[in-house]
Structure 1
Amino acid sequence: YRSYGSFIPLQKSDVLKHLKRRFNADFIDRKNVIFPEVTKYRAAIIQKPVPSFRVVYKKHTLTLDDLSTLADQNWLNDQVMNMYGELIMDSAHHKVHFLNSFFHRQLMTKGYDGVKRWTKQVDLFSKNLLLVPIHLEVHWCLVTADSVKKKICIYDSQGNAIQKVARVTADFMSFFVTLIHVLIPQQTNENDCGVFVLEYSRCLALGKPLHFSQKDIPKIRKRIYKELCDCKLHEQG
């Protein structure tokens, strides 16, 4: 609770692990008794979060309100997207660059002059992969640019924004070949697009296959919450 500011990222299996460490005994055969108690306790304590809880990492600061966007089926906000992007870059040893989630909006409204200072301190051509989260009204999707293969890929967990994004990338990166990935994990609700974008980004940056689905999203939300609080990506996805 003190580590994460709330019980949002904790799973019932975490409780069993804690009990095993504490008492040096396996409580798996008593989970039918333990889990209902955990559920009741969590429901009571969730109304009393740690009000001053903060996570500070480099130029990013997350409040409990920011982290709470990872609960249930909430929509992720820009603060969560951008700090997680920072963790991805660190884990990829800065061969990958995650562009700020406001980059695309600024580019669309003010053109290149409006964003050139954002990348002034970064040599984008030294990066193997650029990750560009794009927010279209109420939907997140991801565009990647491979500087080695001169290839742009579009990852859309719903598939309905692809043509609009493709037109945008064609206008600004005409010297790249645009590919649309269809056979990728897809969301089955209206709320998890931001989580899909972060998981796409993580897998692509670390060279891992996109082996996840909608049923994995609750666990992925909890893992992202923990990683943000720990200020590092965990080995196991």
Structure 2
Amino acid sequence: MKIALFSDIHANLQAFEEMLADLDSRPIDAVYCLGDLVGYNVWPNEIISEMQRRKVPCIAGNHDVKVNGLITTATSLKEPGKKYAYHLIDEPGRKYLSTLPAHIKLEYKIDGQRLNIMLAHGSTRSIDEYVLIDTNEAYVLELMEEANADVLCVGHSHKPYHRVIIDGKGNKKHIINTGSVGKPKDGNPKGCYVLLTIEPSVSQGSEDIVAVEFIRFDYNIEKAAKAIEDSPLPIEFADMLRQAK
């Protein structure tokens, strides 16, 4: 079973299209999005439309929920500032974002044993919480125990990693951050998504029960950055794309 996971597109259509092209070239069984379709760039409606067309299961990111209750006027569409990115979203797009779930849980049986995969944007406790590669191990295990998860997949930080930790029973737990499709922050400006392979021949508790591959892809960064510079969005958003920070 091969599962593609991605998050944090942030309305970057250039990166999103390149990610989809790469994804479509691979033998993938399932695709899930861990949120933050919008914010920081000018193509939120195109992103949402394609997500709906492809029927990709998606959870809400912290930027996605910011749209709830937002009142857009002709003036707000012209005023400079961060909120401009949210005012661009049309009414159908807002309705779609308002219905996204907080989490998705996948349950598999591998050689007669269960493998539980939890998908969250920030953490299982909060959409805004960061689960980083150096987050306290005991705390991460606590989160995973609460969620009854063997594999925890998150986004939000825009910094990809795969971490393996051992619980009190000697079981190996996997924590995976998908990085960011449209706004990397790890110093590498290439977009990123994850391929998760579940190995049916390996018993639960083995580190190799899941194989994790980070896919980095090129896209037209200058076109995406120029779209920001030609809009009322803050100019520093364009520099963030170029510098991946």
TM-score normalized by the length of structure 1:
0.27
Select the structure that is richer in strand. Answer: 2
Which structure's CA Rg is the greater one?
A: 1
TM-score normalized by the length of structure 2:
0.26
Higher RCO by CA contacts (8 Å cutoff, separation 6 or greater): 2
